[in-house]
Amino acid sequence: MSVIAYIALVLGTGMERLYELRISKRNAAAAFERGGREYGQTHFPWMVTLHTGLLIACVAEVIIADRPFLLWLGIPMLIITLLSQAARYWIISSLGAQWNTRVIVVPGAGRVQNRGPYRLTWLPHPNYLVVAIEGIALPLVHTAWVTAIVFTVLNAVLLLVFRIPTENRALRELTP
């Protein structure tokens, strides 16, 4: 894969994220109209920064460090990246109007537990697993291993210290 093709992949991923933000904004507006309450506003900008930084760092590391494309690594990582995108849309469609990039609880909405990956009781936050996998795979498509490591560590800290506890608190409000 040429550097240009990799940049196109990363830009495509960025465009896809912008599309997700449109869906999220629409769902958030509907949730707030139904009396939704948002949690975790203080950590959300950090998540946006981290995910934007991932895309920038993928390209920067490949260009600045002159990372090679290694067929034996790049092709499997590309497949995993594409499967991650499919999994993200499975998650988005499973949650429907309740899916959001923010943590918003709508009184009386109930917790999605019977659709898609949310049927798996042993995996309470499938989206975060997909994001973690993608955060490793996308950089490694073109051997941007420093980006993969740094994103994975920072993402784990953000998820484990802030996001998942915030979401768990919010989800407890949905539990009857």
Q: Where does the pLDDT of residue 175 fall: very low under 50, low under 70, confident under 90, or very high at 90 and above? A: low
Give the span between the Cα atoms of 54 and 73, in whole angstroms. Answer: 19
Q: What domain range is 85 assigned to?
A: 3-174
Give the span between the Cα atoms of 124 and 113, in whole angstroms. Answer: 9
- The confidence score (pLDDT) of residue 173 equals 76
Q: Where does the pLDDT of residue 176 fall: very low under 50, low under 70, confident under 90, or very high at 90 and above? A: low
* Whether this model's pTM surpasses 0.95: no
Residue 167 near residue 100 (C-beta atoms within 8 A): no
pLDDT of 150 higher than 70:
yes
Residue 165 near residue 128 (C-beta atoms within 8 A): no
- The confidence score (pLDDT) of residue 112 equals 81
Percent of the chain with pLDDT strictly greater than 90:
75
Q: 158, 101, 102, 155: which is closest to 133 by C-alpha? A: 155
Number of domain units in the chain = 1
Question: Residue 147 is part of a domain; what is its CATH number?
Answer: 1.20.120.1630
Please tell me what DSSP assigns to residue 23.
Answer: H
Per residue in 59-97, pLDDT tens?
999 999 999 999 999 999 999 999 999 999 999 999 999
**Exposed (0-12), middle (13-18) or buried (19+): which is 19, by Cβ within 10 Å?**
exposed
